[in-house]
Amino acid sequence: MTWRALVRRRIPRWARDAIRWYRRQGFRYKKHRESPTDYLTEYDHRSLRRAKGSILWNDSWEGATRSTSELLADLGVVRDGDTVIDYGAGIGRMSRALAERFQVRVLAVDRSADMRRHALRYIPPQYLDGTIQLLSDVELLERLPSLTRSIDALLFIEVLQHIPEPIIDDLLPQLLTALKPGGRLFVLGNRELDVDATGALAPDSRTIQEVLEHHVLIERQDLWTEGFAKPRHSFLCSVEAQGGTLKPGAGG
């Protein structure tokens, strides 16, 4: 056990919760963006430890990653042979997990240069040789015309909730053009957005379902508790085989 883990065990739960709350209040959204998805400053961390801490607040890194990988497999979101966009990939937590579990090609996209730098350390070198490609958000948007109808799965894992709704409204339709007919859009995380329309922290924001319904028809919704410190909500949407439009499904 590390000294940090030992210290955390000796701190009362109410104190740990207060520390987490205080750290969350330090998140501030930019008034002037340098790119279409440049909305949050505090995901830029010089150390890998702090970068990992900003990705999962309360969960076991290994446990939550394993549970997420399992539900992606159980729902058929990711399959062998797929090409996947892991949007908001951070240091490559799920990109690496996908490469370890499936025979896939992953475009790991994150707007933070620090996160992409940490990904070079976190992801084993054998996966960076063709299996996982690291891209900035700007690089992905520039490549979208060449990716049209070539992507099997578009993943937002613990990330869509952090994006202000006006940016989602602009970004999501662009990304959906990359999905193949029959491709899957999958969102996992909170039930509501963490932010309001301006990007400020907001206690009463729109639900992810309401935001998604502006753009897609949701095929399935699930609530996941096992393996997570707090419940996770997921939303699965798919593209019809003909026409590239989204279809309703049987729902879960």
Per-residue model confidence as pLDDT tens digits over 6-40: 555 677 767 766 655 554 444 444 445 455 555 55
Per-residue model confidence as pLDDT tens digits over 55-95: 777 788 899 999 999 999 999 999 999 999 999 999 999 99
Element (H, E) at 193: none
Ranges 76-90, 128-142, 228-242: which has the least confidence: 228-242
Supply the angle between the helices 165-176 and 137-147 in degrees, to the nearest 10: 30
Specify the higher pLDDT residue, 117 or 199. 117
Other CB atoms within a 10 A radius of the CB of residue 238 amount to 24
Query: What's the token pair of residue 3?
Result: 């000294």
Other CB atoms within a 10 A radius of the CB of residue 198 amount to 12
- The residues facing 154 across adjacent strands are 85, 185
Confidence of residue 251 (pLDDT cuts 50, 70, 90): very low
Which regions of the chain does DSSP assign to beta strands (E)? 83-87, 105-109, 132-135, 151-157, 179-189, 220-224, 232-239, 246-247
In the prediction, which pLDDT does 245 show?
A: 44
Instruction: Decide if 105 contacts 195 (C-beta within 8 A).
Output: no
Please give the average per-residue pLDDT across 162-176, as a whole number.
Answer: 90
Per-residue model confidence as pLDDT tens digits over 184-214: 999 999 998 876 665 666 656 689 999 999 8
Q: How much is the pTM?
A: 0.79
Looking at domain 14-247, its CATH architecture is 3-Layer(aba) Sandwich (3.40)
Specify the higher pLDDT residue, 198 or 226. 226
- Distance CA(67)–CA(6), nearest Å, equals 25
